[in-house]
Amino acid sequence: MGWSLPVIESMQKLNKPYVVVSYPDFEEYAKEHNIPFVSYAFNEWSDSSNSLDLKVKLDAFGADVAVPLFEETVEWAGALNSLYRDDPRVLNRAFLFRNKAMMKRKALIGGLRVGLFEEVYNKEGVKNFMNRLNQANLQIDGEEDSWVHIKPFASAGTVGHRLLRSQSDIDTKCQDDDFPCLAESHLPGREFSCEAFIHGGKIRFMNITEYVKLGYSNFIPEGNYLHTKREKILKEMQKLVDLFGIQYGMIHPEWFLTENDELSFGEVACRIPGGHILELCGQAYGFDALAAFVMCHDPELTEEELQQLLPPLDARPETFYGNVMIYPHKNQISKLVIPEELKEESYFLDHNLVPPLSSQKISDREGFGNHFGTVNFKGEDPDRMTELLLHYENVDFYH
């Protein structure tokens, strides 16, 4: 569900039958390259545009598993898999992945550690939430306010996220079209994500991605300190899988590890993660992570096939792969400049930055969605990797 050439190529290499469901814009390319394709507008839902209608179109291809590649396709895949598996809870679970407030409530009920959160409908609601948070934190008059994050219920990545450090921030940073949304307390700690490949309700392989800076840089596998917590993380991850009732596919939750060695749950997605994470994962562990992502959704997959697709659960690569996403530092750019120090760096692997065609104005960023490309690194020391990613996040590649 969704268009991705790398996923299509992975399916072709596996010689597995597939059909792509995506927007009409991709139909001509699909026909030209003999890609099985069903044209569908995911942003429409009506009597003639729904999962029952879509299932009829897919029956012609013998489809029996739906795989969501992107955030916007999660409900559609959930609806189809509910029909394929004759289990209405599969659709309910898809809604759970798409509504951050519902997701947090489910995590809280199941005993995961989460911050304070609330659905808010206007600026006044955010102010009231911040006041209640201040009271809960036993703030004294004159102390700075407790930090509050607001985020849309169903957007991917960091789109629409705002960090509010004070009551005055609420007035200046919040827009009317931010609401309704989720407000939550700031979670302290070291942030990381996990990519858990699940089959039959059990985690069959788990990667930990170390975030150097959210929205900018990460590397795989996790550094030495996080690795000492792997067993603890794996246990908490299986608790999450059991709690959400996940049987098949891959989940990508974000966690915070506090100084007191406690894990706080941030949120969880069940589609391809951003930041080129599966690409890095495949390079580090030496497997086709996109193929594994798709195939783990298939209940009919055998143990033998699983073992061929996935690295062992306890695999630990000796080489680390990381990248930093590059954003222009100026409002207007005219050329790409690659520093000499980068070319001479032994950990530097490659980059996919392209020069601007001419003098180009940069629009305001929405989340972290429109970076200009990535600079990729490869090396044996995770501490050196961290230093490099932090350094190049601040280098201005576009002048």
More confidently predicted of 240 and 355 = 240
Residue 297, in any domain of the structure = yes
Domain count, the chain: 4
Residue 123 confidence (pLDDT): 94
Q: Are 288 and 304 contained in the same domain?
A: yes
Residue 395 confidence (pLDDT): 94
The whole-chain average pLDDT of the chain stands at 92
Residue 157 confidence (pLDDT): 62
For the segment 316-341, the average pLDDT, to the nearest whole number, is 91
337 pLDDT band (50/70/90 cuts)? very high
Range of the domain at 362: 321-393
State yes or no: pLDDT of 368 exceeds 60. no
Residue 161, in any domain of the structure = yes
Q: Are 311 and 203 contained in the same domain?
A: yes
Q: Which of 123, 95, 142 is closest to 270 using CA atoms?
A: 95
Residue 150, in any domain of the structure = yes
Q: Are 341 and 277 contained in the same domain?
A: no
Residue 105, in any domain of the structure = no
Contact residues for 73 (Cβ-Cβ < 8 A; gap 6+): 1, 2, 21, 42, 271
**Residue that is last in its domain, among 164, 185, 206:** 185
Residue 142 confidence (pLDDT): 84
3-state SS of the chain is: CCCCHHHHHHHHHHCCCCCEEECHHHHHHHHHCCCCEEECCCCCCECCECHHHHHHHHHCCCCCCCCCCCHHHHHHHHHHHHHHHCCCHHHHHHHHHHCHHHHHHHHHHCCCCCCCEEEECCHHHHHHHHHHHHHHCCCCCCCCCCCEEEECCCCCCCCCCEEECCHHHHHHHCCHHHCCEEEEECCCCEEEEEEEEEECCEEEEEEEEEEEECCCEEEECCCHHHHCCHHHHHHHHHHHHHHHCCCEEEEEEEEEECCCCCEEEEEEECCCCCCCHHHHHHHHHCCCHHHHHHHCCCCCCCHHHHHHHCCCCCCCCCCEEEEEECCCCCCEECCECCCHHHHHCCCEEEECCCCCCCCEECCCCCCCCCCCCEEEEEECCHHHHHHHHHHHHCCCCEC
Residue 12, in any domain of the structure = yes
Rounded (10°) angle between helices 51-59 and 74-85 = 70
Q: Which of 310, 292, 279 is closest to 378 using CA atoms?
A: 279
| pTM score | 0.92
CATH number at residue 270: 3.30.470.20
Residue 55, in any domain of the structure = yes
Residue 367 confidence (pLDDT): 38
Q: Are 266 and 368 contained in the same domain?
A: no
Q: What is the pLDDT of residues 345-358, one digit of tens each?
A: 999 999 999 888 76
Residue 86, in any domain of the structure = yes
Residue 345, in any domain of the structure = yes
